[in-house]
């Protein structure tokens, strides 16, 4: 089943990346009027760059996990089997 889920996972990842990018742009627009600083920019505030990277990373990760979980739910609903582990393993 994991092999059958692979195309769903790839497509979901691409969609999640696009959605996360748009969410980050909207959130950053609320934080600052300028575009987010990037490591390629010469004159930037390192603290602002690290903050932007942390916000972007958190948004991307949360969006990716949400899209992945929802696509697994849809896959399980359509085919009757969950493509992954049922629950985390106890430590």
Specify the pTM. 0.85
Predicted confidence at residue 85, as pLDDT, reads: 86
The whole-number average pLDDT for the span 17-31 is 97
Among candidates 4, 5, 23, which has minimal Cα distance to 64?
23
Q: What pLDDT shows up at residue 87?
A: 87
Residue where the block lists tokens 């969609």: 15
Q: What mean pLDDT comes out for the span 7-20?
A: 95
CB-CB contact of 59 with 19 (8 Å): no
Q: 49 with 38: CB under 8 angstroms?
A: yes
- Dihedral (CA of 32, 34, 40, 44) sign: negative
2 pLDDT higher than 80: no
Is it the case that residue 64 has pLDDT exceeding 90?
A: yes
* Residues whose CB is less than 8 angstroms from the CB of residue 9 and which lie 6 or more positions away in sequence, other chains included: 68, 71
What's the whole-number average pLDDT of the chain? 93
């Amino acid at each position: 089943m994991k092999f059958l889920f692979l195309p769903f996972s790839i497509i979901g990842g691409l969609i999640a990346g696009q959605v996360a990018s748009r969410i980050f742009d909207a959130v950053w627009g609320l934080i600052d009027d300028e575009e987010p600083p990037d490591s390629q920019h010469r004159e930037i505030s390192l603290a602002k760059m690290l903050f932007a990277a942390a916000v972007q990373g958190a948004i991307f990760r949360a969006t990716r996990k949400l899209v992945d979980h929802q696509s697994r739910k849809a896959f399980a609903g359509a085919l009757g089997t969950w493509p992954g582990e049922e629950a985390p393993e106890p430590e």
